[in-house]
Amino acid sequence: MSPSETYRVPFVPETAFGIWFLRTHTWEHHVLRVAINDLKRLIDTPLPTAPVIVDTGCGQGISFRLLAEAFNPSRIVGIDFHEPSLVLAENAAGGCAPNTTVDVMHGDCAQLPLPDASADIVFCHQTFHHLVEQGRALAEFRRVLKPGGVLLFAESTDAYIKSWVIRLLFRHPMHVQKSANGYLDMIRDAGFAFSERNVSLPYLWWSRAKDFGLLERLGLHRPQPGKRRETLVNVAAARTS
pLDDT in tens, 98-122: 889 999 999 999 999 999 999 999 9
pTM to 2 decimal places: 0.88
pLDDT at 2: 44
pLDDT greater than 70 at residue 176: yes
Residue 209: band (very low, low, confident or very high) from pLDDT cuts 50, 70, 90: low
CB < 8 Å & 24+ apart, contacts of 163-168 = 163/209, 163/210, 164/209, 165/209, 166/209
The domains found in the chain, sorted by start residue, are 9-221 (3.40.50.150)
Question: In angstroms, how far is CA 6 from the centroid of its own chain?
Answer: 25
pLDDT at 5: 47
pLDDT greater than 70 at residue 168: yes
Kindly report, residue by residue over 32-63, the tens digit of the pLDDT: 999 999 999 999 988 999 999 999 999 999 99
